Amino acid sequence: MAELVIPSAQQLIDGEWTTARDAGELPVADPATGQIIQAVARAGRADVDDAVAAARRAFPGWAATSPSERGALLRRWSELIGEHVEELARVEARDVGKPLSGGRMNVFIARGIIEYFAGAADKLTGVTLPTRTPDYLGYTLQEPYGVCAVVIPWNVPAVLTAANVAPALAAGNTVVLKPSEVAPLAPFALAELARRAGFPPGVLNVLAGFGADAGAALTSHPGVNHISFVGSTATGRAIMRAAAENLVPVKLELGGKSPNVLFADADLDVAIPAIVGSITENAGQNCYAGSRLLVEASVRDEVVERVAERMRAVRIGPWDADLDMGPLVNEAQYRRVLGYLEGAPHDGARLVAGGGPAGDREPGWFVQPTVFDRVDPGSRLAREEVFGPVLAVQEFSGTRQAVDMMNDTDFGLLACIWTSDVSRALRLAREVRSGQVSVNQFADAGVIGYPFNMQKDSGFSRGGGYAAMREYTQEKAVAVRL
* Stretch touching ligand NAD by CB under 6 A, among 99-107, 108-116, 210-218, 260-268: 210-218
Helix, strand, coil shares of the chain, percent, nearest 5, are: 45, 20, 35
Q: Are 370 and 353 in contact (CB under 8 A)?
A: yes
Quote the least distance from Cβ 302 to ligand NAD, whole Å: 31
CB of 177 to ligand NAD, least distance (A): 10
- Please choose, out of 71-79, 192-200, 230-238, 274-282, the segment that lies near ligand NAD by the rule CB under 6 A: 230-238
Q: Which helix (H) or strand (E) holds 141?
A: strand 136-144
Which of 99, 215, 355, 412 binds ligand NAD (CB under 6 A)? It is: 215
d(CA 34, CA 356): 19
C-beta of 383: minimal distance to ligand NAD in Å? 14
Residue 108 or 387 having the CB closest to ligand NAD: 387
How far apart, in Å, are the Cα atoms of 378 and each of 143, 292, 347, 394, 406? 46, 13, 9, 11, 13
**Category of 405 on φ-ψ map: left (φ > 0), alpha (ψ -120 to 50) or beta:** alpha
Of 216, 276, 349, 402, which one interacts with ligand NAD (CB under 6 A)? 216
145 binds ligand NAD (CB under 6 A): no
- Kindly tell me which residue out of 11, 225, 235, 330 binds ligand NAD, with binding defined by CB under 6 A: 235
Q: Does 455 bind ligand NAD (CB under 6 A)?
A: no
Under rule CB under 6 A, residue 250 binds ligand NAD: no
Contact criterion met (CB below 8 Å) for 53 and 223: yes
Amino acid at 323: L
Contact 219, 212 (CB under 8 A): no
CB closer to ligand NAD, 232 vs 455: 232
Residues of this chain, 271-300, that bind ligand NAD according to CB under 6 A: 287
The window from 132-140, 194-202, 208-216, 436-444 that contacts ligand NAD (CB under 6 A) reads: 208-216
Is 253 one of the catalytic residues?
A: yes
Among the listed residues 11, 38, 173, 180, the single contact to ligand NAD using CB under 6 A:
180
Q: How far is the CB of 422 from ligand NAD (least distance, A)?
A: 29
- Residue 205 binding ligand NAD, by CB under 6 A: no
CA quadruple 459, 120, 193, 86: dihedral sign = positive
Type of residue numbered 434:
S
Q: How many residues does the chain have?
A: 482
Least Å distance between CB 71 and ligand NAD?
25
Kindly state the smallest distance separating residue 316's Cβ from ligand NAD, in Å: 21
Distance CA 477, CA 128 (A): 9
Cα–Cα distance, 13 to 41 (Å, whole number) = 11
Estimate the crossing angle of helix 67-83 against helix 157-170, to 10 degrees: 160
Specify the stretch interacting with ligand NAD by CB under 6 A; choose among 70-78, 251-259, 311-319, 362-370. 251-259
User: Which entry of 115, 181, 192, 253 is annotated as an active-site residue?
Assistant: 253
User: Which of 97, 144, 146, 153 lies at the binding interface for ligand NAD (CB under 6 A)?
Assistant: 153
Of the pair 38, 228, the CB lying nearest ligand NAD is at 228
Helix/strand number for the chain, H first, E second: 15, 24
155 binds ligand NAD (CB under 6 A): yes
Among positions 20, 28, 151, 203, the unique one binding ligand NAD when judged by CB under 6 A? 151
CA 202 to mean position of chain CA atoms? 24
Nearer to ligand NAD, 215 or 389 (CB): 215
User: What is the Cα–Cα distance from 181 to 159, expressed in whole angstroms?
Assistant: 16
Minimum CB separation of residue 48 from ligand NAD in Å reads 11
Q: How far is the CB of 332 from ligand NAD (least distance, A)?
A: 9
Q: Which of 256, 259, 326, 389 binds ligand NAD (CB under 6 A)?
A: 256
- Alpha-carbon span 321 to 187, nearest angstrom: 23
Amino acid at 355: G
DSSP string, 289-332: ---EEEEEGGGHHHHHHHHHHHHHT--B--GGG--SB---SSHH
Q: Which of 385, 395, 457, 471 binds ligand NAD (CB under 6 A)?
A: 385
Whole-number Å distance between alpha carbons of 345 and 14: 53
Instruction: Give the residues lining the site for ligand NAD (CB under 6 A).
Output: 151-156, 178, 180-181, 210-212, 215-216, 219, 230-232, 235, 238-239, 253-256, 287, 385, 387, 454, 458-459
Residue positions annotated with a catalytic role: 253
